[in-house]
């Protein structure tokens, strides 16, 4: 994997907020406080569990305050599901797109779809004329029924049926071997540079406020 984290700010910001509000559940952080990065994108444990062994290229673990399991797949993942309206009726002709590549498929007469989720992607966006678009986190191979709501707000990220408004993203801080600390970039770090990676939420982020906006959480990466 060329980069450790290719996390779009919308995905990670929403995921951090979701973890903060649901720490007793296993949506993103399980009982052992483990984060899962599949193809460089923050994902759910269920997505990691469903990956066939022959689809995994390599797996690495970075330890810190929270353990991070980094999984790289060979050719992406096959994702399927069905799109329905508010009454549960199947919707034909809904565009199912990868936000990263903008490639996708269209649902059939039964509202069903199947596509390859590209490496580095953990979300799908659903678009239909006269309906607000909807972005859903891919937490398992069979996504089940995805409901399109004509009266829902635009630009909503769905994390296992929890709605969160898009945010600007967490603050990334890089700590160099000489002790120098500065605001950094997530996609500029490679696995070989990483010593530890810690995720900070709640009041613990206050110590980093001098480096920027900490309202969406903080990622501290310590380099070798």
CA dist 60 and 103 (Å) reads: 29
Give the DSSP H or E segment for 46. Answer: helix 45-49
pLDDT in the model for residue 101: 84
Is 213 buried (19+), middle (13-18) or exposed (0-12) by CB count in 10 A? middle
The residue count for the chain: 224
- More confident call, 123 vs 146: 146
Given pLDDT bands bounded at 50, 70 and 90, which one contains residue 17?
very low
pLDDT in tens, 96-121: 998 888 889 999 999 999 998 887 77
pLDDT above 50 for 217: yes
pLDDT above 80 for 66: no
Given pLDDT bands bounded at 50, 70 and 90, which one contains residue 12?
very low
* CA nearest to 44, candidates 64, 30, 32: 30
pLDDT in the model for residue 147: 92
Q: Are 156 and 135 in contact (CB under 8 A)?
A: yes
Q: What would the mean pLDDT of 129-136 be, rounded to a whole number? A: 89
Domain 77-165: CATH superfamily, name plus number: Carboxypeptidase-like, regulatory domain (2.60.40.1120)
């Amino acid at each position: 994997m060329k980069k450790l984290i290719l996390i779009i700010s919308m995905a990670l910001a929403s995921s951090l907020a979701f973890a903060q509000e649901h720490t007793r559940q296993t949506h993103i952080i399980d009982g052992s406080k483990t984060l899962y990065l599949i193809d460089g994108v923050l994902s759910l444990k269920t997505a990691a569990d469903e990956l066939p062994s022959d689809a995994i290229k390599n797996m690495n673990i970075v330890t810190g305050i929270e353990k991070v399991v980094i999984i790289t797949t060979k050719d992406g993942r096959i994702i399927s599901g069905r799109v329905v309206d508010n009454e549960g009726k199947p919707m034909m002709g809904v565009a199912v797109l990868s936000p990263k590549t903008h490639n996708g498929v269209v649902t059939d007469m039964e509202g069903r779809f199947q596509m390859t989720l590209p490496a580095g992607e953990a979300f799908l966006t659903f678009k239909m004329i006269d309906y607000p678009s909807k972005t859903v986190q891919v937490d398992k191979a069979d996504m089940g029924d995805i409901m399109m709501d004509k009266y829902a707000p635009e630009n909503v990220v769905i994390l296992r049926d929890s709605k969160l408004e898009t945010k600007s993203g967490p603050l990334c801080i890089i700590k160099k071997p000489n002790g120098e600390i500065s605001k950094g970039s997530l996609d500029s770090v490679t696995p070989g540079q990483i010593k530890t990676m810690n995720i900070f939420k709640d009041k613990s982020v206050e110590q980093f406020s001098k480096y920027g906006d900490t309202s969406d959480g903080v990622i501290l990466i310590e380099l070798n």
